[in-house]
Amino acid sequence: MILHLATFRWKDDVTAADVAELTDALRDMAAGIPELRSYVCGESLRLRPGGADFGVAAIVADEDGLNAYLDSAAHAAVYERLLGRMIAERAAVQLPVESSAWL
């Protein structure tokens, strides 16, 4: 399995309403992508200094599942409508995980 992590720092003009709308849109998007085994997104809890404003953690079975998720029309639509205009910085990584690690 693959864990895809993406983190974002927002532009200065991004509002709490923008973030709430994005969070809802991403959760709705994820519900319609069968390749996603697990999906979590949201604002940073800011329990430690520094870091990103928002994160996404998605688990898929394999590279084909990752491509299906990231290249989906639903993912592109959320990016075009909301995410693209909000991002100041983005970072992503894909990590191998064993399914037992997420039980």
pLDDT at 102 over 90: no
In this prediction, residues 22-42 reach a mean pLDDT of: 97
Domain topology for 2-45+52-97:
Alpha-Beta Plaits (3.30.70)
In this prediction, residues 54-80 reach a mean pLDDT of: 97
Cα–Cα–Cα angle for 73, 78, 83, nearest 5°? 140
20: Cα separation from own chain's centroid: 14
Domain ranges within the chain, ordered by starting residue: 2-45+52-97
User: 21: helix, coil or strand?
Assistant: helix
Where are any strands of DSSP class E within 1-103?
Answer: 2-10, 36-43, 54-60, 87-96
Task: Calculate the average pLDDT of the chain.
Answer: 95
Which residues contact residue 59 at a Cβ distance below 8 angstroms, ignoring those fewer than 6 apart? Answer: 1, 2, 3, 4, 36, 37, 38, 39, 97, 102
Cα–Cα–Cα angle for 66, 19, 62, nearest 5°? 10
